[in-house]
Structure 1
Amino acid sequence: MEPVRKTSPDGVEYRDLNRNGRMDPFEDPRLSVEERVADLLPRLSLEEKAGLMFHTVIEAGADGTVKEAPGAISKSPTSEVVLRKHLTHFNVHALDDARMAARWHNALQAIAEQAPHGIPVTVSTDPRHAFIENAGASFAAKAFSQWPEALGLAALRDEDLVRRFGDVARQEYVAVGIRMALHPTLDLATEPRWARQSGTFGQDPDLVTRLGVAYLKGFQQDALGPDSVACVSKHFPGGGPQKDGEDAHFPYGREQVYPGGRFADHLKPFPAVIEAGTAAIMPYYGMPVGLEIDGEKIEEVGFGYNRQVVTGLLREKLGYDGVVLTDWELVNDNHVGDQVLPARSWGVEHLDPHGRMELILEAGADQFGGEECVEVLLDLVRDGRVSEARIDESAARLLAVKFRLGLFDDPYVDEDAAAVTVGRKDFRDAGYAAQAASVTVLQNGTEHRAPVLPLGRGGRRVYVENLSAEAAAALGEVVQRPEDADVAVVRLHAPFEPRSDLFLESWFHQGSLDFAPGLVSRLERIARSCPLVLDVVLDRPAVLTPLLPFASAVVGSYGSNDSALVDALTGVVEPVGRLPFDLPRSMEQVRQHGEDVPGYDDPLFAFGHGLGLPSRPD
């Protein structure tokens, strides 16, 4: 789809976004971003500027249409939030078909053209190129090329590959109109019970920094421009060290602690991505407890409300002048069906929505994630609690990103190109290869058991659990009982404690890392019948200690489909992954360990461990 263009008297093609019949400076593609922002900002009403400062969830119609009725996740009809509330930033959830996604995006941009100044929409997304489906954090790839989770990229230790992944994801995003990535996640995986580790690059601050910059460069390219996807680097100043590993989405996980005094480790990736040009930064939900920075005690309120952190540390000390987007729903509770997710107003729960929003602005944020309550912000301005100059400051930053992305000049995408680009064969092949290569061999043989990897392909009887029929067939004849097998291959997920009281809670893997004793006993019985190969999907660490005495081989994976796993186990693709975090010996070791400290003095398997495979047998 092409935008409607006019030609100025001096021969310049432009979009007449305010429909006044002439090329105004903000419509002039020859001018600098700064000049265009300076011209447009004074033209906007207070309502239009306020609308820029909200970034809410939107649902796309599966048939490529916009939704004009509230959905399961989105709060309002599309035309209402665009034309009445003047929102122009949306976080899209399900996208099943590339052509329909592109069609929906173009329909959304066409509605935005009807607004007084035709400000184009910026569509954002959480990660959607791997396996984990979690409405609060990430989506399974579906039509997009499928890669390992970020932990799997970290297991490969390859900056060039990470940048290549970012470039592939950039091309697929741009094809369907997604121009902002709510990632990379730069948090350190120092607390093994924390639910968000799968989206990180592991525990080591140096590795996270290197891979985070490579990831950013893949998405944004060397400079933010018309072919870029703008990155929101998160969660400042480093999420992850949550008290007892509980997640800060939920009231019981609000406290962020530093018993080991390792705040600097968690902060380390952010100066590097600021220097690399990250378009935006997202503070975390967590409420720091007992934290001091340069001898100054930090107020115990969530980071999104914390002026010492957002203005003092991020803007003044680190010199960051880009967009600060809060994490989702700091202002209002979220009611979905018969469940609720309380506003993440940690430390300021006593404030009403007006007070919370005022404090967020005082802290230095520009945009409210997951909110569309523009009337609250307008009240604050009209009551004199927030100045219009303060609104202008944030609106200018937000407009600048849109101009740099080229959205004012052409926000539309080509449906045919989207259908060809998304899930392209070379993209899928590269993702598949990374899935297989990232597999980490933790144990291959024991004192009493001979090594069994690499497995042969075919020519044996194999018992499998949680492996597809197609993948299992590549190993040999599938039998129904371990007693009849030459080898058993079983896939397990890292343990967690299911929870489902609060909205989103059921998607987050939290709690103990211990396998259930009944499962351990059953696996031991299998191992008495034939050699047992275990794959543990490590979306978080697991206590593998009870499995090692009887498993002939144990591998870890971080987002590998069944066929990719089999290719790794058989050596068709060499499994070169190395652990992106320590694996603890026991839950007692976890409980004794400081939440902010990378690694253990005596782990079961240490960061960087990975055996690879001996040469394949003839």
Structure 2
Amino acid sequence: MEKSVRNAKPESEVLYDYKNPDLSPDERAEDLLKRMTLEEKVAQMLCIWEDKKTIFFDDEGNFSIDKVREHLKNGIGQIARLSDTNGGLDPYQMVEFANKLQKFFVEETRLGIPVIFHEECLHGLAAKDATSYPVPIGLAATFNPELIEKIFSAIAEDARSRGAHQALTPVVDVVRDPRWGRVEETFGEDTYLVSQMGIASVKGLQGDGSLNNNNKVIATLKHFAAHGQPESGTNCAPANFSERFLRDTFLMPFKEAIDKAGVISVMASYNEIDGIPSHANKWLLRKVLRDEWNFKGFVVSDYYAITELFHKEETVSHGVAANKVEAAKLALEAGVNIEFPNPDCYPNLTEMVKGGLADESDIDALVLPMLKYKFELGLFDNPYVEAEPGQFENKLEQDRELALQAARETITLLKNEGNLLPLKDFKKIAVIGPNADRTLLGGYHGTPKYYTSVYQGIKDKVGKNGEVFYSEGCKITVGGSWNDDEVILPDPAEDEKLINEAVAVAQKSDVAVLVLGGNEQTSREAWNKKHLGDRPSLELVGRQNKLVEEILKTGKPVVVLLFNGRPNSIGFIKDNVPAILECWYLGQETGRAVADVLFGDYNPSGKLPVSIPRSAGHIPAHYSHKPSARRGYLFDDVSPLFAFGYGLSYTKFSFDNLRLSKDTISADEKVSVSIEVKNEGAIAGEEVVQLYIRDKVSSVTRPVKELKGFRKITLAPGQTSTVVFELLPEHLAFTNVDMKFTVEPGEFEIMVGNSSRDEDLIKTILTVK
């Protein structure tokens, strides 16, 4: 007997069923789970991030396999953001380090369970030498799901090629408060637009769900749920909405991405709903997500959010748990599969089970799907990643055109009085403003190999055909880095000096291009009490309006470009500046894209994915409001400065002949909606044709209009195209007075045009019997 034990193979080398690649991932996961100790199961519910330095490296900073053995003998579920190790790894370093770590888990732990590496991929892999695309609010402005799918497919390939397996994206929060600093991370204010962009993102990241082909990653929908309209506009604040509103507005994009894209992971949100934090919300994570929607994937915690059920002084404390053990119990019972980013509360699960405070069967149920997707990823059979010489450099070069296309399509023309744009016959151009010659990428960005500022892009475009002058004009904040906690406003005297210098530059030019807006400090995730990013005002920070006023006094034609992560209330600029472009953050190809639009090499086609309010006092300002919500204000207009879906072109489009395939349908029928669109201008252009509906009489109040379809088309001068939408029962349905998602009989107003404004829409009536 003693000899038998001494000569036995390690358990991980024995051909158990979970080692058999001919079996399904479900069968292999179930077999593996049966062989795991309680400690090994709990380890799969843990993640490492901040402790990477102490766990993976010795005191001299060298990788130490002995320290890994000491700390991770039972394995680990995930490791967070390998890319930011030791201040940031380049692609080849990340591949090498991923393989070193994976080798330990596969070859030295008892059962050889590989680890999942997750990364931030909001608008590009947030890593060194990675392609940076426009922020999501900018991508939403493209109204182009096909483009978004291509972008996230490229991001997935980039992440997976470096050893990553899961992307903590997309954000499908419907944003209804522009004071919130995370607007830039979202796809806007409209449930349907967010849903379509979310579906496209997930399809790009996950493909058809065949994850073992080494170019796709697990997508993570976040933040579940109702994170985009926090009380007072401050990050993580309560979201107290009715169940009907939750279902029809905030939950819908999550359900759509689960049903139509098969998303694998969901991240619970920091906020509370009706007094219950999402990480402790059984109704949300079990009844709705799993029981009603049949979600079979796994729920990840947001960073530190399980701890916050108890107490975390520097962030949010909900106070629904007396200690970390109670916090772990609440999250376990709610159905949170894994704790991010560090082992804090869930390490208590082992003793909780042994002490009768938790059931091992609950642990099993949460670990099983995470094991299954490690098999789906092919990690048990092909755990390592290979990198060829020049591989990453070639991909970066290849993806530049995709990033440029995305940046071009993001840019939204808000005003073009007198057809000032595109710029012609201007030999001397002043490029002025705090955002004119700086790197602007938005939150959760990587460090791209390429970047071109607005000033550089214009200089490159003009070349030897003219002169380009630059002046900073004023500052927004001192420094302006997303990473700097303290936000310092500039010295007024210094700003006055800069404004005077800018006026002098404008006076010697033929046209002034002002590059204004916000920066990565004035709109960002407020992730603790010292790192804030929400604002009670939507006015431009600092003396930017003063700069505009002084440049206008020179009498030179003025173009304003806005770079920001949230809508700005730009009433003065709208009233006084002839040409305005909303750019959001355009990514690494900023300067090239802006120059292409300014000089007419690309005809702008962006549309606003969020309304721009006249002031913070006009919030909420979303277009799909209820009939009683916009009676009016004393002394001010109740409408937004610029409406959802709005965006001009250098050409003109007309709409005509709106018709239905049937005027009357039953509740379970679909109907085709057709409209003719003509380019009446002299140049080619792209137009976003938008379909809205209104249920005229219903058992509960319904919005005055809701987007239910859009199509981006390209038309040559004089060309006419017939655009056809298919209106399905699901587009007409809502949660009725009996809390049933259904289509009610009656009249529906069908509206088609190029923005949500009534004056931009043609209307007809559909009857549902």
Report the TM-score range of the alignment, normalised by the length of the smaller protein.
0.7 to 0.9
Does residue 356 of structure 1 match 2:344?
Answer: no
Secondary structure class of the residue paired with 1:231? strand
Q: Separation in 1 of the partners of 2:360 and 2:593?
A: 55
Shift of 1:332: 3.3
Shift of 1:333: 6.7
**Aligned residue in 1 for 2:225:** 237
- Alpha carbons of structure 1 residues 260 and 41: separation in structure 2 relative to 1, 3 Å: closer
**Aligned residue in 1 for 2:272:** 287
Does residue 375 of structure 1 match 2:347?
Answer: yes
> Cα RMSD (Å) of the superposition?
3.3
**Aligned residue in 2 for 1:309:** 284
**Aligned residue in 2 for 1:482:** 506
Does residue 610 of structure 1 match 2:647?
Answer: yes
Deviations 1:297-339 (A, max 9, x none): xxx12111111211122111222232011211123379xxxxx
Which structure 2 residues correspond to residues 192-203 of structure 1 after superposition, within 5 A? 192-203=178-189
Secondary structure class of the residue paired with 2:28? helix
**Aligned residue in 1 for 2:245:** 262
- Alpha carbons of structure 1 residues 477 and 236: separation in structure 2 relative to 1, 3 Å: same
Shift of 1:166: 1.5
- Alpha carbons of structure 1 residues 353 and 81: separation in structure 2 relative to 1, 3 Å: farther
Q: Separation in 1 of the partners of 2:606 and 2:12?
A: 59
**Aligned residue in 1 for 2:545:** 520
Does residue 107 of structure 1 match 2:133?
Answer: no
Shift of 1:525: 0.6
CA contact (8 A) 1:579 1:606 kept: yes
Shift of 1:597: 5.8
CA contact (8 A) 1:59 1:67 kept: no
Amino acid corresponding to residue 118 of structure 1 in structure 2 = G
In structure 1, which of residues 450, 455, 459 is the aligned counterpart of residue 423 of structure 2?
Answer: 455
Shift of 1:86: 2.6
Amino acid corresponding to residue 290 of structure 2 in structure 1 = R
- Alpha carbons of structure 1 residues 305 and 21: separation in structure 2 relative to 1, 3 Å: closer
- Alpha carbons of structure 1 residues 32 and 570: separation in structure 2 relative to 1, 3 Å: same
Q: Separation in 2 of the partners of 1:596 and 1:378?
A: 49
Deviations 1:36-87 (A, max 9, x none): 11211121111111011123426889xxx9545799xxxx997268624632
Amino acid corresponding to residue 305 of structure 2 in structure 1 = L
**Aligned residue in 2 for 1:272:** 256
Q: Separation in 2 of the partners of 1:483 and 1:616?
A: 32
- Alpha carbons of structure 1 residues 260 and 361: separation in structure 2 relative to 1, 3 Å: closer
The normalised TM-score by structure 1 is: 0.83
Which structure 2 residues correspond to residues 170-181 of structure 1 after superposition, within 5 A? 170-181=156-167
- Alpha carbons of structure 1 residues 550 and 80: separation in structure 2 relative to 1, 3 Å: farther
**Aligned residue in 1 for 2:120:** 126
Secondary structure class of the residue paired with 2:257? helix
Percent identity of paired positions between Structure 1 and Structure 2: 26
Secondary structure class of the residue paired with 1:256? coil
**Aligned residue in 1 for 2:747:** none
Deviations 1:566-594 (A, max 9, x none): 2222222232110010000112212x669
CA contact (8 A) 1:301 1:347 kept: no
- Alpha carbons of structure 1 residues 69 and 210: separation in structure 2 relative to 1, 3 Å: farther
**Aligned residue in 2 for 1:574:** 603
- Alpha carbons of structure 1 residues 595 and 387: separation in structure 2 relative to 1, 3 Å: farther
Amino acid corresponding to residue 359 of structure 1 in structure 2 = L
**Aligned residue in 1 for 2:722:** none
CA contact (8 A) 1:322 1:397 kept: yes
**Aligned residue in 1 for 2:567:** 541
CA contact (8 A) 1:230 1:279 kept: yes
Amino acid corresponding to residue 337 of structure 2 in structure 1 = D
Deviations 1:185-220 (A, max 9, x none): 110121111122212111111111111111111111
**Aligned residue in 1 for 2:738:** none
**Aligned residue in 1 for 2:197:** 211
**Aligned residue in 1 for 2:594:** 565
CA contact (8 A) 1:54 1:369 kept: yes
In structure 2, which of residues 22, 31, 36 is the aligned counterpart of residue 44 of structure 1?
Answer: 36
Amino acid corresponding to residue 363 of structure 1 in structure 2 = A
Amino acid corresponding to residue 286 of structure 1 in structure 2 = N
Secondary structure class of the residue paired with 2:47? strand
Structure 2: give runs of 5+ residues left out of the alignment: 1-7, 438-452, 471-504, 631-637, 652-681, 685-769
CA contact (8 A) 1:258 1:596 kept: no
The normalised TM-score by structure 2 is: 0.67
Q: Separation in 1 of the partners of 2:66 and 2:305?
A: 22
Deviations 1:241-296 (A, max 9, x none): 10011001xxxxx311338973221111122111221111112111124xxxxxxx
Q: Separation in 1 of the partners of 2:291 and 2:49?
A: 31
Q: Separation in 1 of the partners of 2:425 and 2:368?
A: 60
- Alpha carbons of structure 1 residues 145 and 552: separation in structure 2 relative to 1, 3 Å: same
Structure 1: give runs of 5+ residues left out of the alignment: 1-15, 131-137, 249-253, 290-299, 335-339
- Alpha carbons of structure 1 residues 38 and 501: separation in structure 2 relative to 1, 3 Å: closer
Shift of 1:226: 0.5
Secondary structure class of the residue paired with 1:506? coil
Does residue 29 of structure 1 match 2:21?
Answer: yes
CA contact (8 A) 1:579 1:608 kept: yes
Amino acid corresponding to residue 278 of structure 1 in structure 2 = V
Shift of 1:501: 9.9
When structure 1 is superposed on structure 2, of 405-414 and 600-609 the one drifting more is: 600-609
- Alpha carbons of structure 1 residues 565 and 229: separation in structure 2 relative to 1, 3 Å: same
In structure 1, which of residues 329, 332, 339 is the aligned counterpart of residue 304 of structure 2?
Answer: 329
- Alpha carbons of structure 1 residues 441 and 332: separation in structure 2 relative to 1, 3 Å: same
When structure 1 is superposed on structure 2, of 309-318 and 475-484 the one drifting more is: 475-484
In structure 1, which of residues 140, 144, 148 is the aligned counterpart of residue 134 of structure 2?
Answer: 148
When structure 1 is superposed on structure 2, of 402-411 and 459-468 the one drifting more is: 459-468
Q: Separation in 2 of the partners of 1:17 and 1:573?
A: 65
Amino acid corresponding to residue 92 of structure 2 in structure 1 = R
Secondary structure class of the residue paired with 1:214? helix
Amino acid corresponding to residue 231 of structure 1 in structure 2 = A
Deviations 1:491-532 (A, max 9, x none): 223377589997485363544211247321221111222222
Deviations 1:374-407 (A, max 9, x none): 5322221122111111111111111011101111
Q: Separation in 2 of the partners of 1:376 and 1:59?
A: 18
In structure 2, which of residues 363, 371, 379 is the aligned counterpart of residue 399 of structure 1?
Answer: 371
**Aligned residue in 2 for 1:292:** none
Q: Separation in 2 of the partners of 1:281 and 1:48?
A: 23
CA contact (8 A) 1:454 1:570 kept: yes
Q: Separation in 1 of the partners of 2:60 and 2:197?
A: 39
CA contact (8 A) 1:333 1:342 kept: no
Q: Separation in 1 of the partners of 2:649 and 2:208?
A: 34
Number of paired residues?
Answer: 561
Amino acid corresponding to residue 306 of structure 2 in structure 1 = V
Q: Separation in 1 of the partners of 2:524 and 2:187?
A: 26
CA contact (8 A) 1:537 1:556 kept: yes
When structure 1 is superposed on structure 2, of 492-501 and 422-431 the one drifting more is: 492-501
Q: Separation in 2 of the partners of 1:609 and 1:44?
A: 56
Amino acid corresponding to residue 24 of structure 2 in structure 1 = S
Deviations 1:13-33 (A, max 9, x none): xxx995654322111111111
Secondary structure class of the residue paired with 2:209? coil
Q: Separation in 1 of the partners of 2:92 and 2:9?
A: 26
In structure 1, which of residues 587, 591, 609 is the aligned counterpart of residue 616 of structure 2?
Answer: 587
- Alpha carbons of structure 1 residues 595 and 142: separation in structure 2 relative to 1, 3 Å: farther
Higher RCO (Cα < 8 Å, 6 or more apart): 1
